[in-house]
Structure 1
């Protein structure tokens, strides 16, 4: 599968969000946190940004994007992993993490569907870096790739400007 096909698949999964999610069953290893993961949110989400003005939200999103970019660059160095050769993939994932940081208060993985995003953010299993990444270096989002991954590039750093430029147009319906 070519890098451009992977880019399309990742972008499609992020943009389709709730539509595609109806057909995806969230998975979690047996025995983790023993609480049911199939709960649904009754009513509205209690979003962290719901009382922000558009200007405040924009500032918070910029700050979160810078923080998630810095975190990703540092995590790449600490784990000897690489970014995808197509930098639009990590850019879109970082943008999604920043969106969740602003709306949920935690960098919940943007590449998965959740019945209850707030609950998942509080549980922490899928907060970046998620448990599979921390334990086995398995990143579902393709943000952190091991050197043996066919899509791993040479890049170990991405700038805030690259994240903004490469993720523009990837509307996040979070």
Structure 2
């Protein structure tokens, strides 16, 4: 199932990117998304900035999906952000996996200038490889990922404005 989330902001691409790569921002987003525990690793790898966020979450999905997932889920989110393009924009590959489950999202994130601010577009394919149930579960996973993206963006903008 396709995921497509677009958020606009009055912060620049570089400000938005600095929020993405700020440890405290990622940790606050984990906290506000209801994570029970988390670990955030942000490191440059050549021209790429790699962000890995591991969280243990209560599944925020309907009961029929909880039966499939269990009482808690371990979610790994990996982003690999490029160096700035000539217009200042940045792109990333994004992969979200639910550890030990046949559920994942593979996609891209694009931060680009828009007027005096920026826009972030996250697109991906959510897959749940379970016969018969997978197609029913995928929309629920899309909702959870979309909600997490909105929290990350909001927390990032709040952090930028507080600087």
In which range does the TM-score fall when normalised by the shorter chain?
A: under 0.3
Q: Give the structure with the larger strand fraction.
A: 2
TM-score by length of 1: 0.26
Could you tell me the TM-score, scaled by structure 2's length? 0.27
- Structure with bigger helix share is 1
